[in-house]
């Protein structure tokens, strides 16, 4: 029997998830049907319930439905609970819906395993304090960095987010406009939505040391505005979010099928088949 999966989003036509999951399924000779489902805020809860009542096994959820999916699930993994957002839903044996968030695992796997960049004992700065940052914080903290600094345009939002994680880590907070820090970070992650408008969220070029690796959660066929800026100011390595996209998909796929796909060739495929900024 064909196992049914989907990605819910709005827009969703640009999503590469169907091709990514089809490539994973081929590695294990699995017969899957992975669709794109366009929904609306008013319809999302009903569309999700209908999808699973028709026997589907799992789905991914992208913008703008991750918070609604968080509300709709019966149970949550610790990562989804911390993220307050769900990008992966799994229908369990008893029919209940488990909500998970694989974004942060995807990021950390890409940084540490694929790009061979250490997080443990390193100084990390994250730009942005919205949903994307909340989604990646727990897996980054789990890697035991020396320091984490959240820099945001609206400092109070960074402070609230730091407070949410104060039971597991002491996060420092500063402004993207006039950032305060001791040394240039080892790893500078752009988790703002600035790339979507081709804006660079910081201007302080001293944030980039000769040892600084820059990672943008966004990606496009060409380097993002942030990564162009980082390269111009001497970042030692510039990485965009294509590897994260494939790794978060692999983590979802493992939850649904108990198979761990090999990602290297799928990342290479995405690098050659990426047309749009995400
Ligand atoms: P997401 O779910 O993608 O994280 P979000 O919750 O709206 O989206 O958060 C967007 C983040 O990008 C915020 O941290 C925002 O800063 P503010 O909190 O000050 O609004 C940040 N951001 C967006 N555009 C930016 C820009 N041009 N420069 C700097 N930061 C920007």
Residue-number span of the structural domain to which 82 is assigned: 3-101+243-273
- Indicate whether 20 and 42 sit together in one domain: yes
Contacts of 196 (CB under 8 A, 6+ apart): 218, 277
Q: 3-state secondary structure string, 139-175?
A: HHHHCCCCEEEEEECCHHHHHHHHHHCCCCCCCEEEE
**Could you read off the pLDDT of 215-248 as tens digits, one per residue?**
999 999 999 999 999 999 999 999 999 999 999 9
Provide the pLDDT for residue 228: 97
- Indicate whether 127 and 91 sit together in one domain: no
**Could you read off the pLDDT of 142-153 as tens digits, one per residue?**
999 999 999 999
- Indicate whether 33 and 144 sit together in one domain: no
Q: Identify whether the C-beta of residue 277 lies closer than 8 Å to the C-beta of residue 219.
A: yes
Q: Give 157 Cα–ligand 1 centroid separation in angstroms.
A: 10
Query: Within a domain: residue 139?
Result: yes
Distance, CA of 40 to CA of 61 (rounded, Å): 12
Q: Is the CB of 153 under 6 A from ligand 1?
A: yes
The beta strand positions in the chain, using DSSP E, are: 3-9, 32-38, 58-61, 75-76, 88-91, 97-100, 123-127, 147-152, 172-175, 187-190, 213-216, 237-239
| Catalytic residue numbers, as ranges | 66
Query: Within a domain: residue 162?
Result: yes
Residue whose CB lies within 8 A of the most ligand 1 atoms, among 128, 189, 194, 278, for a mutation test: 128
- Indicate whether 269 and 226 sit together in one domain: no
Provide the pLDDT for residue 196: 86
Query: Within a domain: residue 227?
Result: yes
DSSP string, 59-84: EEE-TT-HHHHHHH-SEE-HHHHHHT
Distance, CA of 8 to CA of 11 (rounded, Å): 9
Confidence of residue 3 (pLDDT cuts 50, 70, 90): very high
Q: Is the CB of 176 under 6 A from ligand 1?
A: yes
Distance, CA of 272 to CA of 160 (rounded, Å): 39
Q: Is the CB of 62 under 6 A from ligand 1?
A: no
Average pLDDT of the segment spanning 28-39: 98
End-to-end CA distance of the chain: 33
- Indicate whether 116 and 226 sit together in one domain: yes
Query: Which residue, 39, 140, 127, 123, is CA-closest to 83?
Result: 140
Provide the pLDDT for residue 248: 98
Q: Is the CB of 174 under 6 A from ligand 1?
A: no
pLDDT at 278 exceeding the cut of 80: no
Distance, CA of 42 to CA of 51 (rounded, Å): 16
Question: How many folded domains does the chain comprise?
Answer: 2
Provide the pLDDT for residue 226: 98
Q: Identify whether the C-beta of residue 231 lies closer than 8 Å to the C-beta of residue 238.
A: yes
Instruction: Supply the DSSP symbol for 111.
Output: I
Average pLDDT of the segment spanning 108-133: 98
Other beta carbons less than 10 A from residue 232's beta carbon: 10
Residue whose CB lies within 8 A of the most ligand 1 atoms, among 67, 192, 202, for a mutation test: 192
Q: Is the CB of 192 under 6 A from ligand 1?
A: yes
- Indicate whether 119 and 81 sit together in one domain: no
pLDDT at 178 exceeding the cut of 90: yes
Q: Give 28 Cα–ligand 1 centroid separation in angstroms.
A: 39
Average pLDDT of the segment spanning 54-76: 97
Q: What is the mean pLDDT of the chain?
A: 97
Torsion of the alpha carbons at 88, 192, 171 and 125, rounded to the nearest 10: 110
pLDDT at 274 exceeding the cut of 90: no
């Amino acid at each position: 029997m064909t196992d049914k999966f989907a990605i819910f989003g709005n827009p969703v036509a640009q999503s590469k998830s169907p091709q990514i999951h089809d490539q994973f399924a081929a590695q294990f000779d699995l017969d899957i049907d992975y669709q794109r489902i366009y929904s609306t805020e008013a319809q999302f809860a009903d569309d999700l319930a209908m999808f699973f009542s028709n026997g589907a096994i799992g789905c991914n959820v992208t913008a703008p439905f991750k918070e609604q999916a968080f509300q709709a699930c019966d149970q949550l993994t610790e990562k989804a609970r911390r993220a307050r957002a769900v990008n992966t839903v799994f229908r369990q044996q008893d029919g209940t819906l488990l909500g998970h968030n694989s974004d942060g695992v995807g990021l950390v796997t890409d940084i540490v395993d694929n790009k061979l960049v250490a997080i443990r004992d390193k100084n990390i700065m994250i730009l942005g304090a919205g949903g994307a940052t909340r989604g990646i914080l727990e897996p980054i903290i789990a890697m035991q960095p020396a320091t984490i600094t959240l820099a945001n345009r609206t400092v109070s939002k960074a402070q609230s987010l730091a407070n949410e994680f104060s039971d597991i880590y002491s996060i420092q907070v500063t402004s993207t406009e006039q950032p305060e820090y001791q040394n240039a970070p080892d790893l500078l992650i752009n988790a703002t939505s600035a790339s979507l408008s081709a804006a660079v969220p910081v201007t302080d070029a001293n944030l980039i040391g000769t040892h600084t690796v820059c990672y943008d959660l966004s990606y496009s066929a060409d380097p993002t505005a942030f990564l162009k800026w980082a390269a111009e100011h001497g970042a030692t390595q510039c990485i965009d979010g294509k590897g994260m996209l494939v790794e978060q998909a692999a983590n979802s796929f493992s939850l649904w099928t108990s198979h761990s796909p090999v990602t290297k060739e799928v990342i290479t495929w995405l690098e050659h088949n990426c047309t749009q900024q995400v």
